[in-house]
Amino acid sequence: MTVTALVSAKSSGVTTTALALALASSQPSLLAECDPAGGTIRAGLLQGRVDASYGLYHLAAAERAGDDALAHTFASHLIPLDGAGNRRVLPGLTDPAQAAGLSRTWPALSQVMRVLSDEGGYDVTIDAGRIALESGALHPVLTPAPLLHGADLVLLVVRGTSQSLSLARYVIDPLKAELEERGSGADALGLLLIEEGPARAHEIAETLRLPVLAALPFDPETAGYLTHGGQPPRNSKRNPLLPRARTASDNFRAAASRRRLQRQYPQPPAPAYPQLSGVLQRLSQGAAPRG
């Protein structure tokens, strides 16, 4: 399966898109809300049903306790998004000040996600939030860079508006450099367009010199549900976001496997900790709490 990380230059729809992909995927899916600026899913789609005793922050302490603890804590902090538990979310930070404590957790967490994708058969979507830069490179605390290094695809979410595009151009080169040096290559980076504004996908690809790997519709009703919770809209003609997200996630899977074949980039090493198989077991037993 695929590990896809979503980022933005400035709030563009990363969390909404990550939720759409996780909910619409044709495969079992996991969404990790890893935005260092803090999570919004807990108060939004989950409408406060999950308190601060669950979520990303607890993985920092678990990682310090050892790999086994991290693997098990990860599994037990996933909240089901559907009745069958085939779609789950790890809720994000409740306080942006917690981000500093996660810097040393990202590499191990990246590995957990890799295993869940490659061995567990999950499509993993990472909400990596807004890219923060420092001296032209990714900020070490405010961007979860190790998660981007380990992803098959890193998608910069943009809208087709001049505001969105004019900011996006400044994060592309630092992202490419980072992925070239420390990830699986600069070509892991692509654009995910939210179709708001006048610019068309081919124009954007040309201007930003990056492929548009998916275009998702501007669909305020579905986005409103994903952002605030409540009742999902059911008219797929008027509300095309989830059906289109399903196609997008199928395309990402195909793009990631094409990339692997073309570049022959080494398959990620076998799990560094055999305990990770425990995560998979726990997930298949549905050990996580109901949201």
Ligand X SMILES: Nc1ncnc2c1ncn2[C@@H]1O[C@H](COP(=O)(O)OP(=O)(O)O)[C@@H](O)[C@H]1O
Q: Between residues 133 and 287, which has the closer beta carbon with respect to ligand X?
A: 133
What spatial distance separates the first Cα and last Cα of the chain, rounded to whole Å? 25
| Residue 127 Cβ vs Mg ion, minimum distance, rounded to whole Å | 6
Q: How far apart are CA 218 and CA 180, in angstroms?
A: 32
Among 2, 4, 12, 15, binds Mg ion (CB under 5 A): 15
Give which of 123, 109, 40, 48 is closest to 75, Cα–Cα: 109
| Residue 273 Cβ vs ligand X, minimum distance, rounded to whole Å | 31
Of 96-104, 112-120, 180-188, 216-224, the segment contacting ligand X by CB under 6 A is: 216-224
Residue 143 interacts with Mg ion (CB under 5 A): yes or no: no
Q: How far apart are CA 68 and CA 116, in angstroms?
A: 15
Residues 6+ apart with CB under 8 A from 193: 158, 159, 160, 201, 204, 212, 214, 215, 216
| Residue 252 Cβ vs ligand X, minimum distance, rounded to whole Å | 16
183 three-state secondary structure? coil
Q: Which residue shows structure tokens 């902090």? A: 77
Residue 21 interacts with ligand X (CB under 6 A): yes or no: no
Residues 6+ apart with CB under 8 A from 4: 21, 123, 124, 125, 126, 151, 152, 153, 154, 155, 249, 252, 256
| Residue 217 Cβ vs ligand X, minimum distance, rounded to whole Å | 6
| Residue 101 Cβ vs ligand X, minimum distance, rounded to whole Å | 21
Is the distance from CB of 122 to CB of 112 less than 8 angstroms?
no
Q: Which does 113 bind (CB under 5 to 8 A by kind): ligand X, Mg ion, none?
A: none
Residue 15 interacts with ligand X (CB under 6 A): yes or no: yes
| Residue 152 Cβ vs Mg ion, minimum distance, rounded to whole Å | 21
* Ramachandran class of 208: left when φ > 0, alpha when ψ lies in -120 to 50, beta otherwise: alpha
Residue 233 interacts with ligand X (CB under 6 A): yes or no: no
Q: Between residues 123 and 219, which has the closer beta carbon with respect to ligand X?
A: 219
Q: Which does 275 bind (CB under 5 to 8 A by kind): Mg ion, ligand X, none?
A: none
Dihedral of CA atoms 258, 259, 265, 270 in degrees, nearest 10, equals -70
Q: Which does 247 bind (CB under 5 to 8 A by kind): Mg ion, ligand X, none?
A: none
Subset of residues 123 to 182 that bind ligand X, contact rule: CB under 6 A: none
Q: Between residues 16 and 184, which has the closer beta carbon with respect to ligand X?
A: 16
Chain positions contacting Mg ion, by CB under 5 A = 14-15
Chain positions contacting ligand X, by CB under 6 A = 8, 11-17, 40, 194, 216, 218-220, 223-224, 227, 241
